[in-house]
Amino acid sequence: MKIVLATFNQDKLREMRELLQLPGLVLTALCDVPGATAPVEGGESLAENARLKARAALDLSGMPAIADDTGLEVDALGGRPGIHAARYAGPGATYADNLAKLLAELANVTVERRGARFRTVCVALFPDGGEVVAEGVLEGCITLAPRGANGFGYDPVFEVMPLGRTLAELSDREKNALSHRGRAARALARQLADRAAPR
């Protein structure tokens, strides 16, 4: 089965290839589809954004498509940045820009009030109209300063509390075993395997 991943983010493509290891599955990026442009994320929820991106990828490629959307929900910020995590510091924001804005907003917030969670929703759409949806959540807290050199995005400031380490302090293997995207992708993979199984 050949599926297009609705992203231009090479970090996300690499991670999803590692997570969605199903026999016979070939995962390609939307940026490899001639004439493709980045899908617009205009939804009001993670599931809606993922569905919009998957629909755009399916329409552009004619192939089954997978999209995911991830939000960072910080308790002290009333759930922000939420679905706006990737563009928290504005259009074209870099990972560093988003981190700087988040830490600035939490500058006077005590460690005890820095609870947060990553939430990922994955949606797979098929040319026959079929749809598969999966979700993964990881609880943690926001650190006072970045730690670690691995990962991407908010990983350096998201501490997995039982471990006392940020996602950026974990190896790719450790992160994928427990991350929000890992949990969502594994749940999606199980459903894709069921769909592909002979009837």
Q: What is the pLDDT of residues 88-121, one digit of tens each?
A: 999 889 999 999 999 999 999 998 999 999 999 9
In angstroms, rounded to a whole number, what is the distance separating the alpha carbons of residues 77 and 106? Answer: 8
In angstroms, rounded to a whole number, what is the distance separating the alpha carbons of residues 123 and 134? Answer: 7
- pLDDT tens digit at each of 199 positions of the chain: 789 999 887 777 888 888 887 777 788 888 888 877 777 777 889 999 999 999 999 999 999 999 999 999 999 999 999 999 988 999 889 999 999 999 999 999 998 999 999 999 999 999 999 999 999 999 999 999 999 999 889 999 999 988 999 999 999 889 988 999 889 999 998 888 887 666 5
Q: What is the pLDDT of residue 31?
A: 81
**Would you tell me how many other CB atoms lie within 10 Å of the CB of residue 42?**
8
Residues tagged active-site:
69
**Would you tell me how many other CB atoms lie within 10 Å of the CB of residue 1?**
14
Q: What is the pLDDT of residue 32?
A: 82
In angstroms, rounded to a whole number, what is the distance separating the alpha carbons of residues 133 and 4? Answer: 16
Q: What is the pLDDT of residue 199?
A: 56
In angstroms, rounded to a whole number, what is the distance separating the alpha carbons of residues 53 and 100? Answer: 27
In angstroms, rounded to a whole number, what is the distance separating the alpha carbons of residues 119 and 125? Answer: 20
Helix axes of 180-196 and 10-19: crossing angle, nearest 10 degrees: 60
Q: What is the pLDDT of residue 174?
A: 92
In angstroms, rounded to a whole number, what is the distance separating the alpha carbons of residues 160 and 170? Answer: 10
Q: What is the pLDDT of residue 197?
A: 63
Residue 66 carries which side chain, given as an amino acid letter? I
Helix (H, G, I), strand (E, B) or coil at 160: strand
Residue 69 in tokens: 């959307």
> Nearest Cα to 178, choosing from 148, 138, 151, 141?
138
Q: What is the pLDDT of residue 198?
A: 61
In angstroms, rounded to a whole number, what is the distance separating the alpha carbons of residues 78 and 132? Answer: 30
CATH class of 2-196: alpha beta
Residue 31 in tokens: 């940026």
**Would you tell me how many other CB atoms lie within 10 Å of the CB of residue 129?**
6
Global pTM?
A: 0.87
Residue 8 in tokens: 């231009």
- The tally of CA atoms less than 13 A away on the side-chain side of residue 11 is 10
Torsion angles phi and psi, residue 58, rounded to 5: -65, -45
